[in-house]
């Protein structure tokens, strides 16, 4: 089975712009979670989608949003970018999102905000 | 809220030797799941090993094993016969009730030739 894929792998944006990141889960997986990784804050949970519904949300401002499509692919959007949004954004998929399941991560999208 | 603590920011080990990475956690739940993930320089997060709290037996996966002390809320990772490819950042994590992963701050492991 192919692993989790994320596009693009690298992005450079300027403050005030918006950005959309994409994540394709492992075939058959219906749960997709997003995490932000920064040197200062470490790994932080953004949100989780299951069957096109946001099921869980972390403590991030409303500028961070996401959605999931019927084929389980997910996108996250960040509007009005700030310098502090520079980070590695990781998505992870699992079959149904049960806590007994392992989450499999993609390679990440590295976002640099100038 | 669950917390995960890794008190060793960096560690170094000689090739072929054994190293243990420490992790403590805090949870009020009775059943929970713990994980060790590895993040090499490529930044891809890779599952190393997982432990289900209700299982008494410590999980093992080839050269990787854990020492799970439930009462002490300790979950250390032992890497035997360390290899150069084990050089990476290692994260301890727990899954909360909503399956959100709570990560520790990581331990950077360097395997020296």
- Which residue is closest to A56 within chain B, CA to CA? B98
In angstroms, rounded to a whole number, what is the distance separating the alpha carbons of residues A5 and B67? 33
A44-61, pLDDT tens digit by residue?
A: 999 999 999 999 999 999
The shortest C-alpha distance from B100 to chain A (Å) reads 7
Residue A106: its chain B contacts at CB < 8 A? 44
Q: What pLDDT shows up at residue B30?
A: 80
Q: Identify which has the larger pLDDT, A11 or B29.
A: A11
Q: What is the rounded CA–CA span in Å between residue B98 and residue A54?
A: 12
Rounded Cα gap, residues B53 and B70, in angstroms: 7
B10 Cβ under 8 Å from any chain A Cβ: no
Residue-wise pLDDT tens digits, A23-48: 999 999 999 999 999 999 999 999 99
pLDDT recorded at residue B26 = 94
The pLDDT tens digits for B64-82 are: 999 999 999 999 999 999 9
- Closest CA–CA distance from residue B18 to any residue of chain A (Å): 26
Which pLDDT score, from 0 to 100, does residue A22 have?
A: 98
C-alpha distance from A74 to closest chain B C-alpha (Å): 17
Residue A102: DSSP 8-state: P
In this predicted model, what pLDDT tens digit does every residue of B23-60 receive, in sequence order? Answer: 999 988 888 899 999 999 988 999 999 999 888 889 99
Instruction: Give the β-pairing of B24-26 and A42-50.
Output: unpaired
Tokens of A45: 């949970």
In which residue are the tokens 């094993």 written? B65
**Residue of chain B minimizing CA distance to A58:** B100
| Mean pLDDT score across all residues of chain A | 95
More confident residue, A74 or B96: A74
Return the pLDDT at B85.
96
**Is B52 in contact with A100 (Cβ distance < 8 A)?**
yes
pLDDT higher than threshold 80 for residue A1: no
What is the percentage of chain A residues whose pLDDT exceeds 90? 90
Residue carrying structure tokens 């993040």: B39
Q: How far apart are CA A47 and CA A32, in angstroms?
A: 8
Three-class secondary structure of residue B113 per DSSP: coil
**What band does A11 get if pLDDT is binned at 50, 70 and 90?**
very high
User: Which positions 18-57 of B are in contact with A (Cβ < 8 Å)?
Assistant: 32-33, 35, 37, 42-47, 50, 52
Q: If pLDDT is split at 50, 70 and 90, which confidence band does B2 have?
A: confident
Q: Which residues of chain A have a CB within 8 Å of the CB of B98?
A: 48, 55-56, 99
Q: DSSP secondary structure string, A3-71?
A: --EEE-SEEEE-TT--EEEEEEPPTT--EEEEEEEETTTEEEEEEEEETTEEEEE-S--TTEEEEE-TT
Look at residue B1 in the predicted model and tell me its pLDDT: 76
- Report the pLDDT value the prediction gives residue B32, as an integer from 0 to 100: 87
């Amino acid at each position: 089975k192919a692993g989790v894929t994320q596009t693009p792998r690298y992005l450079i944006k300027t403050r005030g712009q918006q950005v959309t990141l994409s994540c394709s889960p492992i075939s058959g997986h219906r749960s997709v979670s997003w995490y932000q990784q920064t040197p200062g804050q470490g790994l932080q949970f953004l949100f989780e989608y299951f069957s096109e519904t946001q099921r869980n949300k972390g403590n991030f401002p409303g500028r961070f949003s996401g959605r999931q499509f019927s084929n389980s692919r997910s996108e996250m959007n960040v509007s009005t970018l700030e310098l502090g949004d520079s980070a590695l954004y990781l998505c992870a998929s699992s079959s149904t999102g049960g806590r007994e399941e392992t989450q499999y991560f993609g390679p990440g999208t590295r976002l640099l905000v100038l | 809220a669950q917390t995960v603590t890794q008190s060793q920011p960096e560690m170094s080990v000689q090739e072929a030797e054994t190293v243990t990475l420490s992790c403590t956690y805090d949870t009020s739940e009775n059943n929970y799941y713990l994980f060790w993930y590895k993040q090499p320089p490529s930044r891809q997060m890779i599952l190393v090993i997982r432990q289900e709290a209700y299982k008494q037996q410590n999980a093992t996966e080839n050269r990787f094993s854990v020492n799970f002390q439930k009462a002490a809320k300790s979950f250390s990772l032992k890497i035997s016969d360390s290899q150069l490819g084990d050089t990476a950042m290692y994260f301890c994590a727990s899954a909360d009730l909503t399956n959100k992963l709570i990560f520790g701050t990581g331990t950077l492991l360097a395997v020296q030739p």
